[in-house]
Amino acid sequence: MSIATRKQQARDRARETRASLTANPNDFVRHWPGMESSAVIAGYWPIKDEADVRPLLEKLAQTHTIVLPVTPRDRLKLSFRRWTPGCAMKTGPFGTSHPVGELGDGRGPAVPDVVMVPMLAFTKQGDRLGYGGGYYDATLAALLSENPALRTVGVAYAGQGVKLLPTEATDVPLDHILTEKGLITTHV
């Protein structure tokens, strides 16, 4: 069976599992790892039944610059726009939402120090199963080539954890997994 087929089967199972899970969004706030206030943090605006990080973004915006991804219509990497609580949002491809305005963080191109990554499933080793578009893997690979100190934090419900996922060379492992039950440090 091909890796693509195995990943699609895993996605189908993971979507079913995630649809049955819920958590208090404030639990993600409690378990967020501390970091310097100068860090630019790339969050995400949840779609469908993704883990809701909006309360976490609001809390982090008090001390950090927050940017959200803009999903391109083609297969290019994500770009980022500055987000502040209450700012106008625009609907993008695949039901995503991003801030209205210029690309960047208000001072130039937004280059995050930390990237929150949504997912369908994860392993404790930092493997992540996304939707299959490759946007986050391409973006993380590009950001890591510019900044090897980039930190990646996958966000998911604890019930999305699995023992093993099909992976390939282009899949970028995550440094941490944030769940409503706590923070998992992976390969670092």
Contact 161, 128 (CB under 8 A): no
CB neighbours of 184 closer than 8 A, spacing ≥ 6? Answer: 124, 176, 177, 178
The reply, when asked if residue 130 is annotated as ligand binding, is yes
CB neighbours of 49 closer than 8 A, spacing ≥ 6? Answer: 18, 19, 21
The reply, when asked if residue 44 is annotated as ligand binding, is no
The reply, when asked if residue 131 is annotated as ligand binding, is yes
The reply, when asked if residue 34 is annotated as ligand binding, is no
The reply, when asked if residue 134 is annotated as ligand binding, is yes
The reply, when asked if residue 182 is annotated as ligand binding, is no
The beta strands (E) that lie in 119-158 are given as: 121-122, 128-129, 151-155
The reply, when asked if residue 135 is annotated as ligand binding, is yes
Q: Which two tokens stand for residue 27?
A: 């639990």
The annotated binding site for ATP is made up of 128-136
The annotated binding site for substrate is made up of 50
The annotated binding site is made up of 50, 128-136
